[in-house]
Amino acid sequence: MVTVISFVIAIALLVAVHEWGHFAMARVCGVKVLRFSVGFGTPLWRWISPQSGTEFVLGAWPLGGYVKMLDEREGPVDASERHRAFNTQTLSRRALIVLAGPLANLVFAVFLYSIVNWIGVQQAQAVLSKPLEGSIAAQAGIVGGEHVFRAGFEGDDLDAVASFDDFRWWLTRGALAHRNLQVEYANDPSHDRKTVTLALSGVDSRIADAQLFRNIGIIGPYSEPRIEEVLPDGAAKMAGVQAGDLVLRIDAIPVLDAGDLRERIRASGVSGVAAAQQWQVLRGQTRLVLHVTPKAEAYDGHMVGRVGAMIGAPPASTTVQFGLVAGVHRALLRTGEVSVLTLRMMGQMLIGQASVKNLSGPITIADYAGKSAALGVTQFLVFLALISISLGVLNLLPLPVLDGGHLMYYLWESVTGRPLSEVSMEWLQRVGLGILLVMMCVAMFNDVTRLLG
């Protein structure tokens, strides 16, 4: 229920913001707005403004919306109001009205990010876990436990890293843009700082998922190899492992962190028959030796070892918060970065450099809406900001059924001095609708695949 409610609130709000952009600019340009609707279907609420005559409607299905303006192409217009019709406006005014919708979504994202920055959010400290063997991070000399202070793309100045989430964003941008990342770190906050370069220019970034970070080698922040919960009937329970145990060694080899412990348990079942392991654990002040035999299980097409335990203490956290001006500045930067990254990803999908599996539809959006809402207000606001940016950028694409398509018509009109013919416009509308339907089908297919996987 939380997922459904969160999804409906998110979509209705973002659609309202988008349509309000068109509505507000139309009013500024002197165009009469006949109806402002959020949602389709049977009206749940209706109100007519006595001043402007605009009808405001809330539909039963909040998966879209529209602003209906006075327009001679859609019906007869009284001569006294012809100057208020959309089609009689100058080219620049029509373009501004169309452009205002996507821009409203981008401005709304800046507003949401600013609120999050002002409120502050608890995030994991930028302390790295042990990288996976053979990964880019491991090849660069990262061993785990490094405190990251600054990062920047090769050839650029380094910027402060506020948290592990901040550093993960640097990794994401670097991988998708194929740019190497310079990282300034210290093995301990009191030690001298060093700089290392992560070769992200060669990473396979066609699918931006968990596998991308496994290739880089940095999956999560540092977390103690502590047992948080022992599940009944699991290998850990049978071996006498208890919640709170700190795993120091496996087969006399030191365990560096929770990620290292998980990987070594997983690796024990690769052959299909998990080998017994000798664990040295710290329980309170007492060191114990326990013999644990993981169970080999199939997972994602591979055999892995399982012990039936929740592993990893919560990572050390820090409060990331910014002042009034700094919060807005950072929000502007993040909105710009996400917008550029979204456009780049779409472009890469178009030329085959990125997989269409990156497309997500309503099922995935609803899932993330519920998960973010469950994590708290700030996480839900961040989710809203991301979707608002996606909505704004998507509508700027030069597809005839989108705002970007209308801007494309106006560009043609500005160059040729005459509007596009009705026949050409109708043909392009059909092509654009077909492309959009294909994208929606692919996104829905990806959603169902993720759901069933």
Distance between CA atoms of residues 37 and 26, nearest Å: 15
- 19 as an active site residue: the answer is yes
Task: Give the CA distances from residue 450 to residues 298, 361, 444, 446, in Å, rounded to whole numbers and listed in that order.
Answer: 18, 11, 10, 6
CB proximity list for 96: less than 8 A, separation 6 or greater: 25, 29
Q: Is the dihedral of CA 129, 131, 137, 142 positive or negative?
A: positive
Q: Helix (H, G, I), strand (E, B), or coil: what is residue 208?
A: coil
Cβ neighbours, 10 Å, residue 266:
19
CB proximity list for 200: less than 8 A, separation 6 or greater: 136, 171, 174, 175, 178, 179, 180, 181, 216
Residue 284 has φ and ψ, to the nearest 5°, of: 70, -115
Helix residue ranges per DSSP H, 76-139? 91-119, 136-139
Exposed, middle or buried: residue 80 (CB in 10 Å: 0-12, 13-18, 19+)?
A: exposed
Exposed, middle or buried: residue 451 (CB in 10 Å: 0-12, 13-18, 19+)?
A: exposed
Residue 34 C-beta-side C-alpha neighbours within 13 Å: 12
Please check whether residue 159 is in contact with residue 150, taking contact to mean a CB–CB distance below 8 angstroms. yes
> Active site residue: 19, 146, 184, 263, which one?
19
Helix residue ranges per DSSP H, 293-397? 324-350, 362-375, 377-395
Residue 146 has φ and ψ, to the nearest 5°, of: -70, 135
Active site residue ranges: 19
